[in-house]
């Protein structure tokens, strides 16, 4: 009976690891450092939506946290509840660099949003995207009528 239990445990472990490997996106050795740059908690410094500056209240109440390829966003100008998302692709070879995420909750849940990003040192980055997931931005401008959101985030100190 002990041997049967041991084989069942080993089999269950192997199956679990296989499922995890299939579900998690694989980031190559070249991409992993880019993903690492996002890790931690960030606060919004400034932002625009559809060419209009975000209110100071929305800016000061926005934050984003990255853990691995998972994220949680608090952003009053997008949704009243936290938005959870998963990073599914990063392409630092494109110009501007691309970041693909799938929202698990909030507006456009289940859709892939293509964003562009650029770091200013290690503790600040710009990020522009279409919250409806219908277009991929070509530059960091959030012009009136574009529907795009452009954010500048600053890393919080632990």
Q: Give residue-wise pLDDT tens across range 89-145.
A: 999 999 999 999 999 999 999 999 999 999 999 999 999 999 999 999 999 999 999
At 153, the pLDDT band (50, 70, 90 cuts) reads: very high
Rounded to 5 degrees, what angle do the CA atoms 141, 144, 149 make? 50
Contact predicate 74/153, CB 8 Å: no
**What is the CB neighbour count within 10 angstroms for residue 59?**
19
Nearest residue to 131 (alpha-carbon basis) of 150, 158, 154, 152: 150
Contact predicate 103/85, CB 8 Å: yes
Task: Provide the pLDDT for residue 158.
Answer: 73
Q: Which residues of 25-44 are buried (b: 16+ CB within 10 A; e: fewer)?
A: eebeeebeebbebbeeebeb
For residues 7 and 158, what is the distance between their CA atoms, to the nearest angstrom?
Answer: 44
Q: What is the pTM of this model?
A: 0.79
Phi-psi region of 126 (alpha: psi -120 to 50; beta: other; left: phi over 0): beta
Task: Provide the pLDDT for residue 77.
Answer: 86
78-87 pLDDT, tens digit per residue, is 888 999 999 9
Instruction: Check pLDDT > 80 for residue 14.
Output: no
30-75 pLDDT, tens digit per residue, is 668 889 999 999 999 999 999 999 999 999 999 999 999 999 999 9
Nearest residue to 53 (alpha-carbon basis) of 79, 77, 73: 77
């Amino acid at each position: 009976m002990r041997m049967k239990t041991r084989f069942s445990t080993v089999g269950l472990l192997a199956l679990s690891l296989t499922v995890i490997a299939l579900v998690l996106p694989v980031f190559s050795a070249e991409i992993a450092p880019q993903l690492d740059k996002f890790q931690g908690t960030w606060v919004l410094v400034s932002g625009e939506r559809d060419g209009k500056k975000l209110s100071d209240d929305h800016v000061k109440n926005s934050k984003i946290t990255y853990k691995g390829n998972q994220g949680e966003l608090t952003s009053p100008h997008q949704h009243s509840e936290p938005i959870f998302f998963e990073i599914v692709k990063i392409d630092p070879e494109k110009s501007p660099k691309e970041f693909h995420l799938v929202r698990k909750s909030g507006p456009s849940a289940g859709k892939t949003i293509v964003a562009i990003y650029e770091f200013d040192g290690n503790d600040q980055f710009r990020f522009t995207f279409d919250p409806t997931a219908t277009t991929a931005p070509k530059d960091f401008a959030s012009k009136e009528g574009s529907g795009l959101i452009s954010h500048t985030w600053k890393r919080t100190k632990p």
